[in-house]
Amino acid sequence: MTTSTTEKKAIRVVVWGENRHEQVNAVVRGIYPDGMHSTIAEGITRLLGDDVTVTTRVLDDPEHGMTEELLAQTDVLLWWGHTAHEEVSDEVVDRIQKHVLEGMGIIVLHSGHHSKIFRRLMGTTCSLRWRNDNDGELIWTVSPRHPIAEGVPQPLVIPGQEMYGEFFDIPEPDELIFISSFSGGEVFRSGITYRRGYGKVFYFSPGDEIFPVYHHPDVQRVIANGVKWAHSERARESYLITPMYVSGEFDRPVLTSPEGLVDYYTRELIAPRETAD
């Protein structure tokens, strides 16, 4: 048993909400008076306390709130969207993808399965079966020692929920953590992870806007676990440009330029054109 005093950087979390249903649907507004994103953010703060700093952004913010400045300071981004996926600009999707590939964690929630950013990271349609008929959902853990499943009851019970069912058109998950069943008898791979570049991706399906799912303490637990899992303490790193290597100089990447080979990091000329070819 050792006692240690550690300086730990808080995980910087941004919860992105589409925030449209809240404007037009009284039921949704009744459940989430400050928007779904606020409830999701509060759940994370309640469970992780000083280990996190949590802010929120919405679709109607300038650049949808997803500025280069904010993303560069974000460890884990959560994404909830549904009715307005097509309004998210491609430029912002490019930017988020770049940050994920460089090391930012991302947690995609519920109907975010059809968001531009999730489809971009997956390469598939991400389509699924569905029925919005107040099904009960049971979420079963199939990877009991995975950190995302820690403290989650077997099963996690959601009394009323939209059904999401198979076939779910996704790439083979790196890890399958949760499988859900619904009152209608359908099943769904409801908690799955992927690595994309240097970043981690967690998709978690519960959360239709007309049910109070994000007030559910066990759902909040899964999301908080996901935040801890998806975040990396290592610095953002770019691999967008393909570096060339000189034989035997394993740690010294170079780039070709009109003048010849340049150092990958300093961009200084290290071998003029005639020797480079």
Pick out residues in 10-69 that bind its own copies (CB under 8 A).
10, 50-51
Q: Does 172 bind its own copies (CB under 8 A)?
A: yes
d(C-alpha 74, C-alpha 77), whole Å: 7
Phi, psi (rounded to 5 degrees) for 157: -105, 125
Q: Which of 72, 169, 217, 257 binds its own copies (CB under 8 A)?
A: 169
Determine the 3-state secondary structure of 104 from DSSP: coil
Residue 25, token pair as written in the block = 């649907």
Of the residues 36, 92, 101, 230, which one makes contact with its own copies according to CB under 8 A: 101
Residue with Cβ nearer its own copies (9 or 267): 9
Question: Least CB distance from residue 62 to its own copies, whole Å?
Answer: 26
> Among 16, 194, 214, 229, which residue interacts with its own copies (rule: CB under 8 A)?
194
> Could you give the CA distance from residue 138 to residue 145 in angstroms, rounded to a whole number?
19
Paired tokens of 88: 């998210």
* Minimum CB distance to its own copies, residue 211 (Å): 16
| AA identity, residue 184 | G
Q: Which of residues 210-269 bind its own copies (CB under 8 A)?
A: 232, 234, 239-248, 250-251, 253
- Ranges within 123-142 binding its own copies (CB under 8 A): 123-125, 127-131, 133, 135-136, 138, 140-142
Query: Residue 240, CB half-sphere, CA atoms under 13 Å: how many?
Result: 12
Q: Quick one: which segment of 6-14, 18-26, 39-47, 58-66 binds its own copies (CB under 8 A)? A: 6-14
Contact 55, 13 (CB under 8 A): yes
Using the contact rule CB under 8 A, the part of the chain among 7-15, 20-28, 29-37, 218-226 near its own copies is 7-15
159 is a site residue for its own copies (CB under 8 A): no
Nearest 5°: the CA angle 241, 244, 249 is 135
CA distance between the termini of the chain: 60
- Which of 75, 186, 208, 209 touches its own copies by CB under 8 A? 186
Query: Which neighbouring-strand residues pair with 192?
Result: 176, 203
